[in-house]
Amino acid sequence: MRLRDDRIDPRRVEPAHEEAYIRLRMKEMGWPALLPAQERGVVDVPNQVWDDRYEAALARLKAAAWSLDALSDEDQQLVALWRMEADINNGGFMQFLCNWGDPTCQLALRALQAMGATQTHAILAGMRGLLDRLEDDPAIKELTDLYGAMSEQEQEALHAFEDDYYARPEDLARLGLKHFGPEPL
Protein backbone atom coordinates (compact mmCIF):
# COMPACT_ATOMS: atom_id res chain seq x y z
CA MET A 1 0.00 0.00 0.00
CA ARG A 2 1.26 3.48 -0.84
CA LEU A 3 0.77 6.78 0.96
CA ARG A 4 -0.43 9.92 -0.82
CA ASP A 5 3.13 11.04 -1.58
CA ASP A 6 3.72 7.63 -3.27
CA ARG A 7 5.93 6.27 -0.47
CA ILE A 8 5.30 2.75 0.76
CA ASP A 9 3.26 2.59 3.95
CA PRO A 10 5.66 0.98 6.46
CA ARG A 11 2.73 -0.40 8.45
CA ARG A 12 1.73 -2.56 5.49
CA VAL A 13 5.09 -4.03 4.46
CA GLU A 14 5.12 -7.80 4.16
CA PRO A 15 7.78 -9.39 6.37
CA ALA A 16 9.43 -10.92 3.29
CA HIS A 17 9.90 -7.42 1.85
CA GLU A 18 10.94 -5.69 5.06
CA GLU A 19 14.70 -5.85 4.40
CA ALA A 20 14.26 -4.45 0.88
CA TYR A 21 12.05 -1.68 2.30
CA ILE A 22 14.65 -0.77 4.92
CA ARG A 23 17.42 -0.64 2.30
CA LEU A 24 15.23 1.54 0.06
CA ARG A 25 14.53 3.97 2.93
CA MET A 26 18.22 4.08 3.84
CA LYS A 27 19.06 4.92 0.23
CA GLU A 28 16.37 7.61 0.08
CA MET A 29 17.81 9.22 3.22
CA GLY A 30 21.39 8.99 1.95
CA TRP A 31 22.50 6.49 4.57
CA PRO A 32 25.19 4.07 3.51
CA ALA A 33 24.17 0.47 3.33
CA LEU A 34 25.63 -1.70 6.02
CA LEU A 35 27.97 -4.33 4.72
CA PRO A 36 27.44 -7.87 5.91
CA ALA A 37 29.91 -8.99 8.55
CA GLN A 38 32.84 -10.90 7.16
CA GLU A 39 35.65 -12.85 8.76
CA ARG A 40 37.94 -9.81 8.49
CA GLY A 41 35.24 -7.57 10.00
CA VAL A 42 32.91 -4.91 8.66
CA VAL A 43 35.62 -2.26 8.33
CA ASP A 44 38.38 -3.24 5.91
CA VAL A 45 41.33 -1.44 7.49
CA PRO A 46 43.95 -2.50 4.90
CA ASN A 47 41.85 -0.97 2.12
CA GLN A 48 41.47 2.23 4.11
CA VAL A 49 45.24 2.40 4.75
CA TRP A 50 45.87 1.71 1.04
CA ASP A 51 43.45 4.48 0.08
CA ASP A 52 45.36 6.81 2.43
CA ARG A 53 48.57 5.84 0.62
CA TYR A 54 46.96 6.69 -2.72
CA GLU A 55 45.56 9.99 -1.40
CA ALA A 56 48.96 11.08 -0.11
CA ALA A 57 50.64 10.33 -3.45
CA LEU A 58 47.87 12.21 -5.28
CA ALA A 59 48.31 15.18 -2.91
CA ARG A 60 52.02 15.25 -3.77
CA LEU A 61 51.10 15.10 -7.47
CA LYS A 62 48.82 18.11 -7.03
CA ALA A 63 51.54 19.97 -5.11
CA ALA A 64 53.89 19.24 -8.04
CA ALA A 65 51.49 21.02 -10.42
CA TRP A 66 50.26 17.62 -11.70
CA SER A 67 53.70 16.77 -13.12
CA LEU A 68 54.12 13.02 -12.69
CA ASP A 69 57.82 13.27 -13.55
CA ALA A 70 58.36 15.57 -10.54
CA LEU A 71 57.41 12.77 -8.13
CA SER A 72 59.59 10.05 -6.66
CA ASP A 73 59.54 6.73 -8.50
CA GLU A 74 57.45 5.23 -5.69
CA ASP A 75 54.85 7.99 -5.89
CA GLN A 76 54.75 7.68 -9.69
CA GLN A 77 53.94 3.99 -9.31
CA LEU A 78 51.25 4.70 -6.69
CA VAL A 79 49.63 7.32 -8.92
CA ALA A 80 49.76 4.92 -11.89
CA LEU A 81 48.11 2.19 -9.81
CA TRP A 82 45.42 4.59 -8.59
CA ARG A 83 44.73 5.74 -12.16
CA MET A 84 44.60 2.12 -13.32
CA GLU A 85 42.14 1.10 -10.61
CA ALA A 86 39.97 4.20 -10.94
CA ASP A 87 39.70 4.21 -14.72
CA ILE A 88 39.48 0.48 -15.43
CA ASN A 89 36.82 0.15 -12.73
CA ASN A 90 34.95 3.12 -14.19
CA GLY A 91 35.16 2.63 -17.94
CA GLY A 92 37.57 -0.15 -18.78
CA PHE A 93 41.11 -0.45 -20.04
CA MET A 94 40.66 1.90 -22.99
CA GLN A 95 39.52 4.67 -20.64
CA PHE A 96 42.67 4.14 -18.56
CA LEU A 97 44.97 4.11 -21.58
CA CYS A 98 43.30 7.05 -23.35
CA ASN A 99 43.20 9.20 -20.21
CA TRP A 100 46.78 8.63 -19.06
CA GLY A 101 48.76 7.16 -21.96
CA ASP A 102 51.13 4.26 -22.32
CA PRO A 103 53.83 5.61 -19.95
CA THR A 104 51.35 5.43 -17.06
CA CYS A 105 50.29 1.95 -18.16
CA GLN A 106 53.94 0.86 -18.14
CA LEU A 107 54.39 2.35 -14.64
CA ALA A 108 51.34 0.42 -13.43
CA LEU A 109 52.72 -2.79 -14.95
CA ARG A 110 56.06 -2.22 -13.21
CA ALA A 111 54.32 -1.53 -9.88
CA LEU A 112 52.13 -4.64 -10.16
CA GLN A 113 55.18 -6.78 -10.87
CA ALA A 114 57.16 -5.25 -7.99
CA MET A 115 54.38 -5.86 -5.48
CA GLY A 116 53.84 -9.46 -6.60
CA ALA A 117 50.40 -8.96 -8.17
CA THR A 118 51.19 -11.53 -10.85
CA GLN A 119 47.62 -12.23 -11.94
CA THR A 120 46.64 -8.57 -12.24
CA HIS A 121 49.95 -7.88 -14.01
CA ALA A 122 49.19 -10.65 -16.53
CA ILE A 123 45.71 -9.23 -17.14
CA LEU A 124 46.95 -5.67 -17.66
CA ALA A 125 49.84 -6.89 -19.84
CA GLY A 126 47.36 -8.93 -21.88
CA MET A 127 45.13 -5.91 -22.44
CA ARG A 128 48.09 -3.76 -23.41
CA GLY A 129 49.52 -6.52 -25.61
CA LEU A 130 46.41 -6.54 -27.79
CA LEU A 131 47.48 -3.12 -29.06
CA ASP A 132 51.07 -4.01 -30.02
CA ARG A 133 50.26 -4.61 -33.68
CA LEU A 134 48.71 -1.14 -33.93
CA GLU A 135 51.77 0.82 -32.69
CA ASP A 136 52.97 1.82 -36.17
CA ASP A 137 49.56 1.93 -37.85
CA PRO A 138 49.33 5.26 -39.74
CA ALA A 139 45.55 5.32 -39.26
CA ILE A 140 46.06 5.76 -35.50
CA LYS A 141 46.26 9.50 -34.94
CA GLU A 142 45.43 9.46 -31.23
CA LEU A 143 44.82 6.89 -28.51
CA THR A 144 41.06 7.07 -28.94
CA ASP A 145 41.49 5.58 -32.45
CA LEU A 146 42.86 2.32 -31.04
CA TYR A 147 39.62 0.55 -30.09
CA GLY A 148 38.05 1.09 -33.51
CA ALA A 149 41.19 -0.26 -35.19
CA MET A 150 41.06 -3.49 -33.19
CA SER A 151 39.55 -6.55 -34.83
CA GLU A 152 36.34 -7.99 -33.43
CA GLN A 153 38.36 -10.86 -31.94
CA GLU A 154 40.75 -8.41 -30.27
CA GLN A 155 37.83 -6.44 -28.85
CA GLU A 156 36.30 -9.65 -27.50
CA ALA A 157 39.66 -10.60 -25.96
CA LEU A 158 39.90 -7.15 -24.36
CA HIS A 159 36.45 -7.58 -22.82
CA ALA A 160 37.45 -11.04 -21.53
CA PHE A 161 40.57 -9.54 -19.92
CA GLU A 162 38.41 -6.81 -18.36
CA ASP A 163 36.05 -9.44 -16.96
CA ASP A 164 39.07 -11.19 -15.44
CA TYR A 165 40.20 -7.86 -13.95
CA TYR A 166 36.75 -7.17 -12.47
CA ALA A 167 36.81 -10.60 -10.80
CA ARG A 168 39.56 -9.19 -8.53
CA PRO A 169 42.03 -12.09 -8.71
CA GLU A 170 44.23 -10.52 -6.03
CA ASP A 171 43.91 -8.18 -3.08
CA LEU A 172 45.85 -5.21 -4.44
CA ALA A 173 45.57 -3.27 -1.17
CA ARG A 174 47.26 -6.00 0.85
CA LEU A 175 49.92 -6.66 -1.78
CA GLY A 176 50.51 -2.93 -2.18
CA LEU A 177 50.88 -2.41 1.55
CA LYS A 178 53.35 -5.31 1.79
CA HIS A 179 55.48 -3.78 -0.93
CA PHE A 180 55.08 0.00 -0.46
CA GLY A 181 54.07 0.05 3.20
CA PRO A 182 51.61 2.49 4.75
CA GLU A 183 52.01 6.25 4.33
CA PRO A 184 54.81 7.37 6.65
CA LEU A 185 53.65 9.55 9.52
Q: What is the 3-state secondary structure (H, E, C) of the chain?
A: CECCCCCECHHHCCHHHHHHHHHHHHHHCCCCCCCCCCCCCCCCHHHHHHHHHHHHHHHHHHHCCCCHHHCCHHHHHHHHHHHHHHHHHHHCHHHHHHHHHHHHHHHHHHHHHHCCCHHHHHHHHHHHHCCHHHCCCCCCCCHHHHHHHCCHHHHHHHHHHHHHHHCCCCCHHHHHHHHHCCCCC
**Rounded mean pLDDT of 82-93?**
95
The span from the CA of 60 to the CA of 70, in Å, is 9
Domain extent, residue 69, equals 45-180
Q: How many domains does the chain have?
A: 2
**Assigned domain for 19 exists:** yes
pLDDT of residue 1: 44
Residue 110 clears pLDDT 90, i.e. is over it: yes
Q: Please give the share of the chain, as a percent, with pLDDT higher than 90.
A: 70
CB-CB contact of 173 with 46 (8 Å): yes
pLDDT of residue 62: 97
- The string of pLDDT tens digits covering residues 124-135 is 999 999 999 999
CB-CB contact of 93 with 114 (8 Å): no
Do 56 and 8 have their domain in common? no
Do 76 and 8 have their domain in common? no
Do 24 and 80 have their domain in common? no
Residue 184 clears pLDDT 90, i.e. is over it: no
**Assigned domain for 39 exists:** no
Do 24 and 56 have their domain in common? no
Do 94 and 66 have their domain in common? yes
- The string of pLDDT tens digits covering residues 30-66 is 565 555 666 656 567 888 899 999 999 999 999 999 9
Q: What is the CATH number of the domain that holds 65?
A: 1.20.1420
pLDDT of residue 46: 86
The span from the CA of 3 to the CA of 122, in Å, is 54
Do 88 and 152 have their domain in common? yes
Do 67 and 118 have their domain in common? yes
pTM tops 0.75, yes or no: yes
